[in-house]
Every structure is written in structure tokens, then in C-alpha cells.
Amino acid sequence: MLRVPKPTAQQLLDGCLQGGARRYSLLHGVVLQWWFSRPANGDYVVSLLQHQWDGTPDHPYAKDASSRAEGAALEILGHRGGSPRIYQNTLAFLAIDQTRLQDLDEAVRRHLAWDSIVEQGKELNLDPNQQRQAETQRNSANATVSARLPEAYQWLLVPVQDNPTDAVRIDAFRLSGLEALAVRASKKLKADELLVTGLAGTRLRMELDRVPLWRGDHVSIGQLVDDFARYHYLPRLVGPDVLIAAVRDGLGLLLWEQDGFAYADSFDEDAGRYRGLRAGQLVNVSEDDLSGLLVKPEVAMRQMERERAEAGTSIGEGSPVAAYGTARVDAQSSSGDATVIGAAPAGVGAVSKVPARYHGSVRIDPTRAGRDAGKIADEVLAHLVGVVGASVKVTLEIEADIPAGAPDHVVRTVTENSRTLKFETGSGFEQE
């Protein structure tokens, strides 16, 4: 009689949670981690990390105060090896149901036994018919394990903390569905707002004031990224890009004083002022540079008003005007040319030395119009539009010469699209 090695808790889980794997594990807990993960097939999927529960594979979940799964989850949450775990708000856990444990255990052992027989067919002197029978039995056992895995790993354990002064607790959610476990867990987390894939700038402002997360009159963006990865009382984000998008949204709000915040490149402690202070406009914030500061709106307004007043008193002396004035801008493109025109700061008397208009033109490559227009919008128009009280007009004019004549399908398509996009009256094709 063939002796089959008893499977141990060290055997890899690998593909079994995603389905279709040939070897399985008796691990009864899985750690889910998604920080810095990216969308796959249009959906966010948490990544899987194997974890050995202190040498003991048996940590199923049960609805009682002595649930070993919850105790193990809290232990993993607090420690990473021999050191304290820093980024705790990036973890959730999958646990096997205690009542399903034995059924899955038996199915896994049966699969591993038949798998061992198939692998050792030559040593066991199996004839071709016996080899086929062993492979059939292994495939059947494999299908049984695949069916029992999602039934067994049905508990999603999520660390929750309502307020900074509350203790961290573990909330359990039963999973259902036919998708892979990681996908099911991700969908459940997002449905219950336990995993956030999009954060509004107004929500970020609320969190800044609620906790509060301000460090004095400002806080660095890098510090916020760290905070959201650490603390359970903050929304659990799928990655830093969600926070960066919220920062951009809050900076571009029209009512940034009430619902958003200001941005500064840095703070000059000696001068007691913020460098590169701006608000109510598009700011190019990226994950590559998190050194910028979010500034309390009331603090930013005081500096802006002070520097606007200083700029006004210095105009008569020929000094530059502060960057918080008001401008009127016109933009026009003709035959691929873009034109921009602008006007003067508000609240300051008209002086000949004050820039009253801006006019600029640039030729755009018609084969890359989207790319070039986007760069113009980001690097020129965004700054002009961001000036408080600015009036901006952008007009795009297209002129195309087609010596051989335009084909019927081009005439039809362009005419219909122009009408849909509300081109001005008079737009259209002409005959020679």
C-alpha cells in the first residue's frame, strides 16, 4: 500500500484562491493587502499574501468571543516579524469558516494523495489503464477542492476604528458570489466603503478638520499619504493616487476657502510666509514629488491679502505686482494658431507699467492636436484661469485645404460632428 505524505501548513496557497491550481494549502487564514495596487481588467483586486499563523495552521473563524481568526488577525495587524507594523490601514483578512474546515481538509488530502500517485506512477508500476484512472480521480478531487475553497474561505475580517480614541476592532463580513476570493473581498470592501477608490477634495478637507490632520497651519502631502496608510480611523484607500487626486480636486474648487485648501511649495520660517502659495486653480501634484504643503484656507487668505496690499503700495514705485491680481484672458486659434489675450489686476489702480493684456500664439501639429492642446491648457491656460476674477475666452478655428476634394463620408462625418459639438454658424465645407 502506498503511503501518502501528510500535507502540512507550509504548502503553498499560490493559485488556489484564484482557481485552477493543482496543489493546495491547509493555511486557514489569508492576509489581503492592496496599498499601491493597480486596477486589473477595470476592477481593483487586492493582492494575496501568505502567512503562517505562528506555526499553527488552525485559525478558523467562528461567531464567538474566542474566535482564533480574530486573535490572529490582531496579532498580524500589530506586528510585522519582530517589529511593530507601521502601515496598518492597508490590511484585511480572509478566514476559513470553522464548520467548513473539516470538509476542505479532507478534500485537500484526497487531492494530494491522488496527485502523489500520479506523480509516482512509474515507481508504483501502474499500467496505462491504472494511470488514466489515477489521473481521473485526481482531476475529480481537484474539482472538489476548487468548489469547496470559496465555500470555506467565506469570512472577510476588516480592522475598524471609528475615532482616534477608540480601540481597533475586527468586523466580520460573510462573502458570497462566484468570483475569485480576492475579487469578492475587494467588491465587498468597496460596496461597504471600507476600500475607497475615489476621494473628493471636500471629503479630504473634512478629514483634515475632523481628526485633525493639520500640523499647525499646514501639512505636507507626503505626511497625509503616510497618515492614510497608518490609521484605521481614516478612509482605507486603494493607493496613494486616490489621495493625490483628492488633493488636486480640493485645490481646484471654486469655493476653496469653504470646502478646500491652498497649496504651497514650501514654508519660509525666517520670513514667516509660504513660497509658491496658490489656490482655486489646477496644481500639478504627482506621486513623484510629495513635498508640497496643504495650507489652511484662512491662513492662505491672510498672506494673499497682505501681499496683495503690499503689491498695491509698491506699484507707484515700479515694483512688480503680486500674483493674486485679476486678469481677463482671450484665446483664439486660427489655422492651427492659438492666441491668448489678458487684462489687469483687480483692486489696484490702472498703471501703465502693470500688465494689462496677455497675447500669445503657437502653431499646433494637426496630427497631435489633442496632445498639444492639453499641454497648452496645463502650462498656460491653467495659470491664467487660476487668477481670481479672470475672464477667459478660448476659440478654436480650423481651416483645411483639400485640393482633391473631400470624400463624401468625410463630409458627412465632419458635418454631423461639428453640429453635435455646436460649432458656430457658418462652419462647414465650401466649394471652389
* pLDDT tens for the 432 residues of the chain, in order: 233 333 322 232 333 333 333 333 333 455 555 543 333 333 333 333 333 333 334 678 888 766 788 888 888 888 888 899 999 998 888 888 888 888 888 888 898 899 999 999 888 888 999 999 999 999 999 999 888 888 888 899 999 999 999 999 999 999 988 788 888 888 899 999 999 999 999 999 999 999 999 999 999 999 999 999 999 999 999 889 999 999 999 999 989 999 999 999 999 999 999 999 999 998 989 888 899 999 999 999 999 999 988 876 443 343 333 344 333 334 333 334 443 333 334 444 444 455 767 777 777 777 777 777 777 877 787 777 767 667 778 888 888 888 888 888 888 888 888 888 888 888 888 887
Strand order in the sheet with 293-295: 218-220, 293-295, 262-264
Q: Collapsing DSSP states into helix, strand and coil, what is residue 272? A: coil
> How many angstroms separate the CA atoms of 136 and 120, rounded?
15
pLDDT of 405 reads: 87
Under 8 Å between Cβ of 161 and 231: yes
Q: Collapsing DSSP states into helix, strand and coil, what is residue 36? A: coil
Length of the chain: 432
| C-alpha grid cell, residue 15 | 493559485
pLDDT of 32 reads: 56
> How many angstroms separate the CA atoms of 225 and 239, rounded?
9
pLDDT of 18 reads: 37
Secondary structure E strands in 225-265: 262-264
Cell match 511593530: residue? 84
Q: What DSSP character marks residue 167?
A: P
Helix (H) or strand (E) holding 117: helix 101-119
Angle value at C-alpha 160, between 165 and 13, nearest 5 degrees: 140
CA distances, 260 to each of 218, 234, 252, 254, 279 (Å): 13, 18, 8, 9, 9
Provide the 10 A C-beta neighbour count for residue 269.
Answer: 7
> How many angstroms separate the CA atoms of 412 and 92, rounded?
55
Could you tell me which of 172, 287, 164, 170 has the C-alpha nearest to residue 231?
164
Cell match 503562517: residue? 52
pLDDT of 235 reads: 95
Under 8 Å between Cβ of 112 and 76: no
Provide the 10 A C-beta neighbour count for residue 225.
Answer: 19
Secondary structure E strands in 279-355: 293-295, 328-334, 337-341
Could you tell me which of 69, 30, 32 has the C-alpha nearest to residue 51?
30
Pair type for strands 169-174 and 218-220? unpaired
Cell match 487668477: residue? 387
pLDDT of 351 reads: 42
CB under 8 Å to 289, separation ≥6 — which residues? none
pLDDT of 268 reads: 95
Q: Collapsing DSSP states into helix, strand and coil, what is residue 131? A: helix
CA distances, 343 to each of 48, 54, 252, 307, 391 (Å): 57, 70, 22, 20, 9
β-pair partners for 403: none
CA distances, 128 to each of 114, 124, 391 (Å): 15, 12, 84
Helix (H) or strand (E) holding 148: helix 128-152
Q: Collapsing DSSP states into helix, strand and coil, what is residue 70? A: helix
Q: Collapsing DSSP states into helix, strand and coil, what is residue 379? A: helix
> How many angstroms separate the CA atoms of 237 and 197, rounded?
6
Alpha helices by DSSP H, listed for 153-212, are: 181-191, 201-210
pLDDT of 219 reads: 97
pLDDT of 138 reads: 93
> How many angstroms separate the CA atoms of 184 and 345, rounded?
55
Q: Is the pTM of this model over 0.85?
A: no
Helix (H) or strand (E) holding 138: helix 128-152
> How many angstroms separate the CA atoms of 421 and 430, rounded?
19
> How many angstroms separate the CA atoms of 161 and 91, rounded?
13
